[in-house]
Amino acid sequence: MEYKKVWKKAACLVAGLAVFGLADNPISSYHYLADPSCASDGDTFYILTDVDDYNNQTNWNYDIVGLYAFTSEDMKNWTDHGMIFRSRREFGNYPNNTWASGIAVKNGKVYIVYPDGASGVGMITAPAIDGPYTDPVKETHGVNRIAGGGSLIGGCDGIAHCFDPGILIDDDGKGYVIFGGGESSSRPYGNNFDIISFTESNGKITFDKNSLKKVSLPNSFEAPYLHKKGSTYYLSFNNRSQVIDYGMSNNIWGPYTFVGTVIPGIGSVPDAHGEGGNNHQGFAPFKDKWYAVYHDRRLVTSDNHPAATTQQGVRSENPNYENHRSVSIDELTWSGDKMNKLTFTREGPKQIKNFDPYKTYKATTSSKQMNIRSRTDWTKGQPVKHVLLPLTSRSESWIRVSGVDFGNGAENLRIKAANVGDGNKIEIHKGSATGTLAGTCELAKTSNNMTFTDNDCAMTGLSGVVDQLFFVFKNNGKDSTMGILEWEFQGTKREPEPQQPFGGKAWAIPGKIEMENFDEPGYGAGNDSYADNDSDDHGAESNGGKSYREGTGVDIYKKNNGYVVGYNQTGEWLEYTVEVAEAGDYTMFASVASANATSGFQLAIDGENITEEIAVPKNDGEENYDDYNVVQANVKLAAGKHILRFTVTGDWMDIDYIEFAAGKDADPGKTSIAALKLQNKIERSYNVFSLTGVKVGTVDLSGMAASKALNAAGFAKGVYMLKQVNGSKKFMVNTSK
């Protein structure tokens, strides 16, 4: 198996932050966020931001590693979807820094335009805000960028800074991307933005590079943004004085008539201690109102906010507030067809409808937070998962949900959580974090912090509209021992559901068990069927990018002999429903491969170990996971239906199957082992060619490195090309070393 044995790490961990007061702006108190844009599809309001958290960088050197997204249906409670796109991950090393991206939503589809630092502009699209994202520019035009080096238009049209893209999809479905900023000798201030159009047909997005046209407004510098009201187009931008000005036109291509300022300098934002800086903006309508998003310095300047530190995280009596930002939203009002100057508020917009608690929500859904952090988990080709991580070592840790309409009443709260600590619980309070207690969820233990299980918790007194509902997180004061994935209130309690055999039928013993076909997980605590240390399926790439067991994160690889479970780490486990025909002695055979000297596993039935730890032989070769060996053990089994658990006790092994044969020390020749050995021989047979391309023989690489196998077979010292007899592998070997 060709993969690097590296520790699997959580994809994104954001430092936990406190909150000042109960003001609803900014929308998140546990991220630094910047450069927002927004969109609406009529049912949901979307905010897209940069991640602006601390990095190992010097002051003012912005290392923007990804994009965050938030949604709301009531403009008060926001779902934080996490880092939906991470720079230098989805598409290799491209893009670099995704500063100030733009968002549009049409017919349920999400369109995001992003910069590659200041040197290019690209686009990604997805069926939903959580992803997964694809690159339509690459798919349609064969290049990564709309503008920039190696791009659709062959450059940046002389623009000083090829960045800050905005996007507008017009009423007729035609799309437009605006980008640019800065100053150059050929494109001075006020003359440095370009617009290009695109169309979409049958899911294919095509840009018209001949439509490229520059637009201008006085004193414009960066952050060009297009929106439309009625038949009028609006072009707003951040000017050299760091305020948002705008112009109007009856044509998307202009000319635009300058109007004036719509968002004043952020030094006047409440609670920001007069700290200013640049700004970025977004405007969108929602439910007969208009809203403006912007960034400010509220979090980083808060006196009781632990982020009020230097870049290196050092607090002082006079902290260096730096230029890390937070994102806020306020209602935008109009005078006819002109936008009124925005009024910054602490409260943010009014809630426009009651919150429906009888849906499944990401745990990072709230109107305000205290002492939490979060983690985004990625699995390639799947939507991201965003996990709430309480900071229970602090005096308070909670989230608040506003205007919750329980109707006739909720009797149950389902919380999906990972829990590796003792005493972890979630209390539900009305009115305040110490208000009337509606119920307590004692969280079930899980095998690791990446395995989530359902917890059902009885609730009382939750009926009608509850103005403020608090989820209060408590334990023995240790952080990072629980992670909350999602929650949902229910009118009645849902009963636990047991795990079920894969395909609906228990595995027969005696017989063979394919390890990739572990049980389907059930519902409720104790009904999981697997535990994996992260949510990435590292084997998906071998299967065309699609996970064999979607949503589990179990690492299943497609090989010539079928599917195998690989990338196994200590503590991970899989369970199988089995039917034992007769009580008695059996021999267990397992087909395993490893290049690690300490790999191993253990088997249990119904929670009782039936084997000691079984060592997996180490193959010759640093990354040799192609030679499968057979290990065996004698076991005693009771008749009837049972749950068999396979637990990894030593890192980095692959396992293909387990087979049980009747009797002690059973004859392996009557099992699948003979076929396994034949398959190994077929896979490890290679034709040997000289450097001139002449075939000079064949070699069997079973059990040893290629250079040793060639020497043992009598080949002279030198360099050879090896090509797999039954397969596509080929590589060079130097036997002289």
Q: Cα 661–663–666 angle (5° rounding)?
A: 60
Q: List the beta bridge partners of residue 122.
A: 114
Q: For residue 427, what are the β-bridge partners?
A: 440, 472
Nearby residues of 601 by Cβ (< 8 Å), 6 or more positions away: 568, 590, 592, 613, 614, 616, 646, 647, 648, 649, 650, 653, 655
Closest CA to 110 of 91, 92, 132, 93: 132
**Token code pair at residue 459:** 């609730």
Residues in the chain, pLDDT under 50: 1-21, 56-61, 306-317, 674, 677-678, 681
Residue 18 lies in a domain: no
- Residues 106, 197, single domain; the answer is yes
- The total domain count for the chain is 4
Structural domain contains residue 23: no
How many other C-beta atoms can be found within 10 angstroms of the C-beta atom of residue 668?
A: 17
d(CA 363, CA 471): 10
Q: Cis peptide before 255, with omega less than 30 degrees from 0?
A: yes
Query: What pLDDT score does 305 carry?
Result: 53
pLDDT, one tens digit per residue, over 656-708 is 999 999 999 988 776 665 455 445 545 678 889 988 888 888 888 765 677 77
SS3 134: strand
Answer with the one of 456, 490, 524 that is the final residue of a domain.
490
Q: Of 599, 573, 603, which is closest to residue 588 (Cα–Cα)?
A: 603
- Collapsed DSSP state (helix, strand, coil) of residue 390: strand
Could you tell me if residue 344 is inside a domain? no
Q: What element of type H or E holds 139?
A: helix 136-141
Q: Is residue 354, in this structure, part of any structural domain at all?
A: no
Q: What does the alpha-carbon distance between residue 64 and residue 708 come to, in Å, rounded to a whole number?
A: 49
pLDDT of residue 673: 58
CA distance 473 to 363: 12
User: How many whole angstroms separate alpha carbon 706 and alpha carbon 621?
Assistant: 8
Cβ pair 205, 137 in contact under 8 A = yes
Task: Identify whether 84 is part of a domain.
Answer: yes
pLDDT score for 79: 98
Q: Do 662 and 712 share a domain, yes or no?
A: no
Among 339, 369, 403, the domain-final residue is 339
- Whether residues 302 and 418 fall in one domain: no
Q: How far apart are CA 399 and CA 369, in angstroms?
A: 4
CB distance 463 to 409 below 8 Å: yes
- Of 351, 490, 469, 472, whose CA–CA distance to 407 is shortest? 490
Structural domain includes residue 272: yes
Q: Are residues 481 and 558 in the same domain?
A: no
Q: What CATH number has the domain bearing residue 531?
A: 2.60.120.260
* CA pair distance 333, 121, nearest whole angstrom: 32
CA atoms within 13 A on the CB side of 151: 22
Q: What is the pTM of this model?
A: 0.77
What are the CA-CA distances from residue 149 to residues 63, 119, 152, 156, 158 (Å)? Answer: 21, 7, 9, 7, 12
In 230-323, the DSSP E strands lie at 232-239, 244-249, 257-263, 281-286, 289-296
What pLDDT is recorded for position 623? 72
Concatenating the DSSP letter of every residue in 15-71 gives: EEE---TT---SS-SSS-EEEEEEEE-SS-EEEEEEE----S--TT-----EEEEEE
Q: Let me know whether 183 and 222 are in one domain.
A: yes
Whether 408 and 288 share a structural domain:
no
pLDDT of residue 683: 62
Q: Is 50 in the same domain as 193? A: yes
Q: Which residues contact 637 (CB under 8 A, 6 or more apart)?
A: 509, 580, 583, 584, 586, 605, 610, 660
Mark whether 456 and 534 lie in a shared domain.
no
Q: How far apart are the C-alpha atoms of 228 and 269, rounded to whole Å? A: 26
- DSSP type of residue 697: E
Distances (CA, A) of 304 to 19, 200, 345: 8, 49, 20
Rounded CA gap, 292 and 37, in Å? 9
Q: Which residues contact 6 (CB under 8 A, 6 or more apart)?
A: none
Domain span holding position 724: 684-734
Q: Of 291, 306, 339, which residue constitutes the final position of a domain?
A: 339
* CA atoms of 622 and 42, how far apart (whole Å): 56
Which of 106, 111, 129, 131 lies closest to 121 in space, CA to CA? 111
Strands 368-370 and 338-339, sheet pairing: unpaired
Mark whether 170 and 84 lie in a shared domain: yes
Please measure the distance between the N-terminal and C-terminal CA atoms of the chain and give it in whole angstroms: 24
Neighbouring residues of 386: CB distance < 8 A, sequence distance ≥ 6 = 80, 81, 82, 362, 363, 364, 374, 375, 376, 377
Instruction: Note whether 153 and 53 are same-domain residues.
Output: yes
Q: Is residue 497 part of a domain?
A: no
Are 532 and 483 in a shared domain? Answer: no
Is 214 part of a structural domain of the chain? yes
Same domain, 315 and 375: no
Instruction: Please name the residue that has the structure tokens 């002695």.
Output: 585
Q: What 3-state DSSP class applies to 481?
A: coil
Check whether the bond before 264 is cis (ω within 30° of 0).
no
d(CA 410, CA 619): 57
Q: How many beta carbons lie within 10 A of that of residue 222, not counting itself? A: 25
